[in-house]
Amino acid sequence: MRSWRTALGLLVVAGVLSGIGSGLTAFVVATEAFLRTRDATAVGWLTACGMGPLILMAPVGGMLADRYDRRLMMLIGDGGSGLLLGIVVWQLASPATSLVGIGAGVALSAAMAGLTEPALRATISDLVPAQHLDRASGLMQLSQALRWLVAPALAAVLLLVLPAAAVVALDIASFAATAAAAVAIRSVLGSRPAWSGFAGQELRTIVGVLRLDGVGSLIGLMAVAGAAMGIVETLLTPLVMGFASRTWLGVVTSLSASGMLLGAVLVSAVGVRLNLRTGLAVGLGGAGLALAVLSVRADLVLVTAAGVGFFLVLPLANASAEVLLRRGVPNQQLGRAWGAAGLISQLGTVAAMLAAGPLTDRLFAPAVAEGRLGLDRLLGTGPGRGAAAGILVAGLILVVTGVLVARSAALGRLAACDCEAASGSDQIE
């Protein structure tokens, strides 16, 4: 294997398969929680179990990705995550299924997966020439796009003929894809020597990264956007299942994700043609407006159409943010930068997941039912309308964040920079 393009292709394929597998597990866990409890709090708690450990391990994964062979970290992370996911399979197959046991298995598996993400993203900078980083970021969005496009509908169909435990077992098999890709790209990158240093030094490096011009502002705004995304991820299940079946939830989610696939293809094909700050602002603001539309009526067609719009602009926002971060951070520190960004930007996501359920069950749902603030006239009444109010709030958060991005002088300077600090010195032709 001589071409960085071939190696990148392997990573993309591995990401697609792993993303679909993870999507199967996420769909099964969320819908099982709602069917057993009929409240959003349980959905939010189990969703946070999958996200929280992942982001808490991200800084550790980032340090290890810069110190040791990044492919080795991918192997260890995905291998351990797959093995620990067996706890979820066991719990779902047990006659005395426990949501606590399922949450524990999801959390442990996610903790190991936290070793993989920083290493994977840093490896891309090792592989890809600087002028192609935006397109590479767009290609990596395909794994997330196909996770949302394929996994929900596939999970819904599989659950009609297979037990929940068997569907999650398919996710375990998908972890082999990343392992195979990590082994295959060795011939492209060669051996990566261990980096020597001390934890204290590395912590100071992370702090220094956050103080780079524009980087701290970028990560802070990503944290706010992450909170909105956490609300959506938690409340979409109770919103749709408030008036439709689990099968329809899978269909609607998958159809909506076609927008993300289209957006990812466009970004990977043409790159980010807008100024990067503008691209990030447009992506976030457009996603917020789509959520506002999605929340106003319990209608499968409207929810699907708004979902398409929401997912369509996400790759633009994600690719813009990724390239901005790569520009601002030297490559030898990029693993730690991704780890720190994952921790800080996604803390808001986990906090929102934990808060969205109780707020919906105890605040939004009663407010809609009682007609406070005219929410009943705006959103309608009935099951799932409290979740709709929460998603409306998420949309407003994204719109405000987009405005803040557009007005940020620090991000303007970063977008105008031609330095490409994160361009990989180890570019392979």
Residue 216, domain CATH: 1.20.1250.20
To the nearest 10°, report the CA torsion of 289, 290, 292, 296.
150
Tell me what pLDDT residue 278 has.
87
At 149 the pLDDT is: 82
What phi and psi values does residue 16 have, to the nearest 5 degrees? -65, -50
Looking at residue 262, what is its pLDDT? 85
Query: Per the domain annotation, does 229 fall within a domain?
Result: yes
Q: State which residues form the domain around 339.
A: 4-185+202-416
Does residue 218 form part of some domain?
A: yes
Contacts of range 243-248, beta carbons closer than 8 Å, 24 or more positions apart: 243/298, 243/382, 243/383, 243/384, 244/300, 246/31, 246/35, 246/156, 246/159, 247/156, 247/157, 247/159, 247/160, 248/156, 248/300
110 with 49: CB under 8 angstroms? yes
Q: What is the pLDDT of residue 345?
A: 72
pLDDT at residue 421 in the model: 47
Residue-level pLDDT at 346: 75
Is 293 domain-assigned? Answer: yes
Q: Name the residue with tokens 């989610």.
A: 253
> What burial letters (b/e) apply to 209-245, b meaning 16+ CB within 10 Å?
bbebebbbbbbebbbbbbbbbbbbbbbbbbbbbbbbe
Give kind and range of the element (H or E) at residue 241: helix 215-241
pLDDT tens per residue across span 31-56: 988 988 888 999 999 989 988 888 77
CA distance 166 to 164: 5
193 inside domain: no
Q: What is the pLDDT of residue 416?
A: 76
Backbone angles phi, psi at 380, to 5 degrees: 85, 180
d(CA 92, CA 55): 25
What's the pLDDT score for residue 204? 64
Q: What is the distance between the alpha carbons of residues 429 and 424, in angstroms, rounded to a whole number?
A: 12
- How far apart CA 394 and CA 227 sit, in angstroms, is 8
| Number of C-beta neighbours around residue 46 at 10 A | 25
Which amino acid type is present at position 285? Answer: G
CB 395 within 8 A of CB 289: yes
The CA distance from 38 to 33, in Å, is 8
Angle formed by the axes of helices 215-241 and 334-359, to 10°?
40
Q: How far apart are CA 389 and CA 226, in angstroms?
A: 18
Check: CB of residue 289 under 8 Å from CB of residue 403: no
3-class DSSP assignment, residue 412? helix
Domain membership of residue 423 (yes or no) is no
CA 283 to chain centre: 15
pLDDT of residue 194: 46
Q: Please give the share of the chain, as a percent, with pLDDT higher than 90.
A: 32
The pLDDT of residue 270 = 65
Tokens of 240: 């749709």
- pLDDT at res. 425: 38
The confidence score (pLDDT) of residue 238 equals 94
Within-domain flag for 197: no
pLDDT tens-digit profile, the chain (429 residues): 457 777 777 777 877 888 888 889 999 999 988 988 888 999 999 989 988 888 778 778 777 877 777 777 888 888 888 889 999 999 998 887 788 999 999 999 999 888 877 777 777 777 777 667 667 776 776 666 677 788 999 999 999 999 999 999 998 888 777 777 777 775 555 445 444 444 555 566 666 666 666 777 888 888 888 888 889 989 999 999 999 999 999 999 999 888 887 887 787 776 666 678 888 999 999 999 999 999 999 999 999 999 999 989 988 888 888 888 877 777 666 666 766 776 777 788 889 999 999 999 999 999 998 888 788 888 888 888 999 999 999 999 999 999 999 888 888 887 776 554 444 433 333
Number of domains in the chain: 1
- C-alpha 369/C-alpha 381 separation (Å) is 6
Residue 125 maps to a domain: yes
Instruction: Report if residue 422 sits inside a domain.
Output: no
- Return the structure tokens found at 170: 């398919």
